[in-house]
Each structure stands twice: as structure tokens, then as C-alpha cells.
Structure 1
Amino acid sequence: MTDIILYDYWRSSASYRVRIALNLKGVSYTSINTSLLDGDHKAADYVVRNPQGFVPMLSIDGHDLTQSLAIIDYLDAKYADPPMVSSDPAERANTLAQALVIAADIHPVNNLRILKYLKNELGQDQGAIDTWYRHWIEEGFVALEAMAPESGLFGGEQPNLADVCLVPQMYNARRFALDLSAFPKLVRIDASCNLLEAFQKATPEAVKE
């Protein structure tokens, strides 16, 4: 058993990002299923280590790291190859801006806890919730499509942080039946990434118990 442990949930897109990054960097880890539906992430012993009670959490080098982009940043500092962001300040900022369209703008308003609040506290039916979900993905994707390169990946010839964030969000977009015809560059990048073993091994279907 490896000393690196990922507290993971198969359908969590934040966990999906970290799985991709670990695979790209060739880091071996043990996955512990932390079910969002069963409330494993709210157990007292988990919250002591992760006060937000979210997944993923990566236990590594004596640290319990939380927040997917912070985890990936740690991995990037520890395992340099392949880099998730450029050492060039402008290119680094550009990649972070692309990644944050997803991680800071699309994902937070579509998180499971938000969807539960819409349903349970605000009384919205599933149709309204699905419409909400698609709306925020589409709004973010309009911007991201404009940012996307005409050829290659966001990272050029190899995936970077923006690609790592895009693929799980594309998975969610398809799960909620968003029409992707307006986003040909994103569709192309997603398809290219999913040809790579590191992405294939990180899919929800590949890790679901």
C-alpha cells in the first residue's frame, strides 16, 4: 500500500481532476472511497482533517491537502514532469485563468451541495435544477471556447492544468445533456485528452467501485 492516499468520490469532478494529475505525473496512490451520497465526507474523523468536509483530500508527506487546484499545485512542485503550468509568468497566468473559468466560476455553483439546496430548501424540481446546471456550464464554456487554441491542447502538445480541469467538466456537460455543438474547440481538446491513458484511468467509470 502506498503512503499517498486520495480520499476520493468517483463522480466528483474535483476528485477527477486530481486523479488525472496523479496519473499524468505517474504518482502511485491508494484511493479511499468517500461517498458524498452516504455522507462519508461529513464524518467527524474526516472533518477534523478536512474542515470543509469536501473531496478530494490527498494525504501525502504527512500533510492532508484539500482543494483540487491546491493539491495539483503541490504535486506540480513535488513532481515537476509534466508541468501543469508554465514557468513563464504570462503563460502561467493565462493557464490559471482558463482553469479557473471551470474551477472558480462553473463548478462551485453546480456543486452537489448547491443542487441539494435548490431542491430541498428552494423547492425546485429536477427539470429546473438541470436547466440551472446547463446554464452555468454554457456560460463558462462560451468564454473558454474563445480562450481555447485553434489546434492542440490548452497545454499545446501535452496537457496542462486547463486541460485537466476541462475534461471532468465536459463529462458533466454530457451527463446533463448540454448541446456542445457551439464549442468545437473544447470538444476537440476533450477528445484528444481522452485518448491518453492518464485520462482514461481517471474516468468515473474506471474508478467506480
Structure 2
Amino acid sequence: MKLHNYFRSSASFRVRIALELKGVTYEYLPVHLVKGEHKQEAYSAVSPSGLVPTLVTDEGERIGQSMAIIEYLDETHPQPPLLPRDPLGRARVRALAQLIACEIHPLNNLRVLKYLVRELKVPEEAKNGWYRHWVRDGLLAFERELAQLPRGTYCYGDTPTLADCCLVPQIFNAQRFKTDLSGLDRTMAAFDNCMKHPAFQKAQPSNCPDNEP
């Protein structure tokens, strides 16, 4: 398998975590978003949407969107499972994952932040304030959802799930922007436990070949 991704992309990070949890070997193909490599013709042939990550299967099929990729991996490499066996548990985990992937992340990805600065002329610190506001607001909602679930080692239960694959990259980015993470006891406990797991450690940005300071 091949993974077109960028070390700092939280969506790419999610997929790297899933690949490591599954023990799937893959070729790392960097696409530098800040330099605009995702907009170049060579990558357009891989991803018509111009987004990362893109997974290329051993058969040469291309799959975009991190959530779709992770569920594909879960179906083709079922051990260890990233979704519970019961329908309600699967729905709970998907809801937690989508709270990050669909509610927090879209407001704060690179193209949105660039638009705020370049097109709307938002000052740098105001842009950072936007980021911190929406990330904290979303994580507070995530914390409230966790509070309604039985306590476990990770977001849902005692094994990593799709929800943890989404949570860890979001916390990494929140910390990079110095977001206030106080009062997120269940959320940060799940994050801390994830970071004790070798798969999460191996997948993190500092271990990527294209990592930059």
C-alpha cells in the first residue's frame, strides 16, 4: 500500500494511526501542503479533490477521505477492530469520531486558515484566536459526550477505536496552537493513554520522514 499524506495533516495522522494499529506496512509518499504540492498536476492525477490523505491499495485503487480509508482498512484488515461489534457501540464510536472530523476539523484546516488571512485579511493573532475558540468549543462538546459513556482506557472502552484515531491528531494540533485544554479530564486521559501505545507514538508527526520543525 501507498499513503499520500502530509506529516502535519490531522486527517493523514488519523490514517497513519490506523495503519500502525493494524500492523499494515505502507510506502510513505509526502505531499507538502504549505508548498502547494497538492494543487500540482502530478497529485491531481492521484486525487481529483486535491486533498490528503489518499491511500493506494495493492491493487492500485485510490481511496480518499480519512474516515473512508480507516473503515476500508477495518473491513480488509479486521484485527484489531477499530469499531465495536454491536451496532450501538459502532454508532457511539462513529459519533465521537465525527464530532472531531466533521465539526471541529473543517473549521480549522489549512485552507480555511489561509483564506482567513489572505482573502479576509484577518490578523495572525485573530486567526489563531479563531482556531483556539472552535477547537476548544468542539472539545468541550466531546468531553460532555464522553461523560455519558462508561469510563474506559480510551475514548470508548479499553481498546483503541476510530474515535481515538481522530482525537489524538486534534489534540496535537490544539497543543501546537496553544489551545486551552483545561477541564477536559476524560478527553485528555484518553489522549494520554493513547500516547502510551506504540502505534500512536510511531504515527506521530515527529516520526514522519517529511517532518519539519
TM-score by length of 1: 0.96
Identity of aligned residues (%): 45
Once residues 146 and 126 of structure 1 are traced to their aligned partners in structure 2, the CA distance between those partners, rounded to angstroms, is: 31
In the other structure, the counterpart of 2:186 is: 185
Once residues 160 and 34 of structure 1 are traced to their aligned partners in structure 2, the CA distance between those partners, rounded to angstroms, is: 26
TM-fit CA distance, 1:45: 2.6
1:26 maps to which of 23, 26, 40: 23
Task: Report the number of matched residues.
Answer: 206
In the other structure, the counterpart of 2:158 is: 157
In the other structure, the counterpart of 2:138 is: 140
In the other structure, the counterpart of 1:6 is: 3
1:206 aligns with 2:204: no
In the other structure, the counterpart of 1:128 is: 126
TM-fit CA distance, 1:155: 3.1
Once residues 202 and 30 of structure 2 are traced to their aligned partners in structure 1, the CA distance between those partners, rounded to angstroms, is: 16
In the other structure, the counterpart of 2:83 is: 85
1:48 maps to which of 29, 45, 54: 45
AA paired with 1:171?
F
1:57 aligns with 2:58: no
TM-fit CA distance, 1:156: 1.3
AA paired with 2:201?
Q
Question: After TM superposition, where is structure 1 displaced by more than 3 Å over at least 4 residues in a row?
Answer: none
1:113 aligns with 2:111: yes
Q: How far does the alpha carbon of each residue in 1:82-132 deviate from its partner, in whole angstroms, 9 at most, with x for none?
A: 111123111111111100010001001101000000000000011111111
CA contact (8 A) 2:155 2:187 kept: no
TM-fit CA distance, 1:48: 2.6
AA paired with 2:3?
L
Once residues 92 and 192 of structure 2 are traced to their aligned partners in structure 1, the CA distance between those partners, rounded to angstroms, is: 22
Once residues 45 and 203 of structure 1 are traced to their aligned partners in structure 2, the CA distance between those partners, rounded to angstroms, is: 26
Once residues 140 and 199 of structure 2 are traced to their aligned partners in structure 1, the CA distance between those partners, rounded to angstroms, is: 27
Q: CA RMSD in A?
A: 1.0
AA paired with 1:154?
C
Unaligned runs of 5+ in 1: none
Once residues 83 and 152 of structure 2 are traced to their aligned partners in structure 1, the CA distance between those partners, rounded to angstroms, is: 18
Once residues 5 and 22 of structure 2 are traced to their aligned partners in structure 1, the CA distance between those partners, rounded to angstroms, is: 18
Once residues 90 and 175 of structure 2 are traced to their aligned partners in structure 1, the CA distance between those partners, rounded to angstroms, is: 29
Structure 1 residues 94-103 or 46-55, which shifts more?
A: 46-55
| Other structure's SS at 2:85 match | coil
| Other structure's SS at 2:186 match | helix
AA paired with 1:68?
S
TM-fit CA distance, 1:208: 4.2
AA paired with 1:22?
L
AA paired with 2:49?
Q
| Other structure's SS at 1:31 match | strand
CA contact (8 A) 2:155 2:164 kept: yes
Once residues 5 and 91 of structure 1 are traced to their aligned partners in structure 2, the CA distance between those partners, rounded to angstroms, is: 30
Structure 1 residues 70-79 or 54-63, which shifts more?
A: 54-63
Once residues 83 and 124 of structure 2 are traced to their aligned partners in structure 1, the CA distance between those partners, rounded to angstroms, is: 38
Once residues 134 and 81 of structure 2 are traced to their aligned partners in structure 1, the CA distance between those partners, rounded to angstroms, is: 29
Once residues 204 and 154 of structure 2 are traced to their aligned partners in structure 1, the CA distance between those partners, rounded to angstroms, is: 19
Once residues 130 and 80 of structure 2 are traced to their aligned partners in structure 1, the CA distance between those partners, rounded to angstroms, is: 36
